[in-house]
Copies of this chain bind each other. A is one copy, B any other.
Amino acid sequence: MGQSWEEIAADKRARLAKTIPAEWKIEELPTEDSVLDFPRTSGLLSAEELEITGSSAVDLVAKLAKGQLKSVDVTQAFCKRAALAQQLTNCVHEFFPETALAQARELDAYFEKNNGPIGPLHGLPISLKDQFRVKGVETSMGYVSWLGKYDEEESVLTTLLRKAGAVFYVKTSVPQTLMVCETVNNIIGRTVNPRNKNWSCGGSSGGEGAMVGFRGGIMGVGTDIGGSIRIPSAFNFLYGIRPSHGRMPYARMANSMEGQETVHSVVGPIAHSVADIKLFLTSVLHEQPWKYDSKVVPLPWRQDEEDAVKSKLKTGGLNVGFYRSDGNVLPHPPVLRGVDLVVDALKKNGHNVFPWTPYRHDYAVDLINGIYASDGCEDIMKDIKASGEPAIPNIKNLLRPDIQKVDMNSLWDVHLQKWNFQIEYLAKLREMDAQLGSEIDCIVAPISPTAAIRHNQFKYYGYASTINLLDFTSVVVPVTFADRDIDKKNDSHTPASDMDKEVQSEYDPDAYHGAPVAVQVIGRKLTEERTLAIAEEIGRLLGNSVTP
């Protein structure tokens, strides 16, 4: 007889624990809520390792490309810090420092021999969500039943990052099914936020959020079908981009509901700065991903698009819409203040900022929730049941008892509803263009109704998922931190719905004190260059920008 799911999971945890060398083990785990300062205060990292891991990806690749740093040293530093991240936040599914160091040595040898880098990411360690297939490594995606299979073929993006010179050393944790904006599964349990263990790291790319937030990785790669890149970015005070579908290669990634194409999951980076995000995107585009993945649009980086926005920035000429509430669920006071901070900063710098009326976001949220469950959850339940493990409580709403598999002709109706909604939204944008006499450049909005949330409290995905339905480009910008002295409980709000009430009642100024607050900067479809340039400027105005 086979093992029970508990035995398989326990075995995996034991195997994972063994991947951390004895000299990187933390003898006594800290008891503080925040572990963000641990690398500096514990003495476990050398000064050089602290400097490397405290740097930026742009700086690191510049030094690696000049031979001022060796990949093996950079890789060693991040492996060590990632080992700490794992012990402190439980954010790892796969850890393979030896393979990584071997890869780094090869790249150093290449550099020596060719007197130059192999590609734009030469020698840079990059952290991957446990959806990426990496040769010789398991991909469990949080399903017990997936354990024990070692990948032979790699994801297209794995291959292209490798070609660009990236080093792989870790695959980070995800929630069972991926359909949750927190990170918990029956294999490793829960991943926590390095800023406060009582807060979620977000999800589904939550392991990336915790890892990059802790600087166990300089940048990480996540995926997003309803906020899964953007929520972990927001909850860890990081930048993150949800590119539009077709910009980055998703081929050969593992997934739940693989083949579901009504709303596409997309892949994108999470990092400490827009400059690092740009480095990631330009490096991937440099490899011409459209020659490997048929879904990628043949669109190299458009420097002219970035420059067009930057010249507007000089003259204070941006047209920025904003909304504080989507009309469904009112954000908590810190998030409303976050939007206000961005609006004020932009206005102060001469930009044209005006309210944007969210168009039928209630309709959109219902529509996309239906799409997530269009096979009656058959696919995810198959993977859950295969091992006998229980479904995590967080997907209760996804598995609501009335869901049914959608009939083909009903699916086609849903496709039309989605398309019509998108077309109507474009019409609203054109109306605004006409009113302005020039083009609206972006919309600033909450990405979550809450700051980094307490465990098991993430309930409302609409701020993120409506943008997925529209397939707009969205960049998360870290703004501020919840402050119990400023962000008082909102007692005057009349809830629009049970969900609104439930979310609002979760706010507690003390519990959320210090929790990261972010906004998303939303651009039209496939406007990554423009939207990133605006996000970078907002970060700069707020003083939250790392510009190397």
Contact = CB atoms under 8 A, between A and B. Distances in A.
Nearest to A302: B298
19 contacts: A246-B297, A252-B423, A259-B411, A259-B416, A261-B261, A291-B426, A291-B429, A292-B426, A293-B426, A294-B423, A294-B525, A295-B422, A297-B525, A298-B527, A374-B408, A375-B412, A378-B409, A405-B408, A406-B408
Interface of A: 156, 246, 251-252, 257-262, 290-295, 297-299, 374-376, 378-379, 405-409, 411-416, 419, 422-423, 425-427, 429-430, 433, 470-471, 524-527
Given A294-B426, A426-B292, A470-B294, A408 B375 contact: yes
A376 to B, nearest CB: 8
Contacts of A406: 408
Contacts of A259: 411-416, 419
Given A156-B423, A259-B412, A290-B524, 17 more contacts: A246-B297, A251-B419, A259-B413, A260-B412, A260-B415, A261-B412, A291-B426, A292-B430, A293-B423, A293-B426, A294-B423, A297-B297, A298-B525, A374-B408, A375-B409, A408-B411, A411-B411
Contacts of A260: 412, 415
A472 to B, nearest CB: 9
Given A408-B406, A429-B291, A258 B422 contact: no
A440 B379 CA distance: 40
B416 A258 contact: yes
Contacts of A412: 257-261, 375, 379
B251 A423 contact: yes
A294 B427 CA distance: 10
A376 B409 CA distance: 10
Contacts of A429: 291
Nearest to A251: B423
Contacts of A262: 261
Contacts of A415: 259-261
A419 to B, nearest CB: 7
Contacts of A409: 375, 378-379, 405
Nearest to A526: B298
Top-6 shortest CB links A-B:
A259-B412, A294-B422, A259-B415, A375-B408, A259-B416, A261-B415
Contacts of A405: 407-409
A299 B261 CA distance: 22
Contacts of A419: 251, 259, 294-295
B423 A297 contact: no
A540 B398 CA distance: 59
A294 B428 CA distance: 13
A252 B419 CA distance: 10
B526 A297 contact: yes
A181 B375 CA distance: 34
A362 to B, nearest CB: 19
Nearest to A378: B409
Nearest to A429: B291
A527 B297 CA distance: 10
A171 B427 CA distance: 27
A302 to B, nearest CB: 10
B291 A430 contact: yes
Contacts of A299: 297, 299
From A407, A423, A430, residue with most partner B Cβ within 10 Å: A423
A289 to B, nearest CB: 10
A432 to B, nearest CB: 11
A420 B19 CA distance: 34
A500 B291 CA distance: 33
Nearest to A261: B415
A358 to B, nearest CB: 17
A291 B422 CA distance: 10
A342 to B, nearest CB: 25
Contacts of A430: 291-292
Contact of A292 (B292, B378, B423, B471): B423
Nearest to A425: B294
A299 B244 CA distance: 14
Nearest to A407: B405
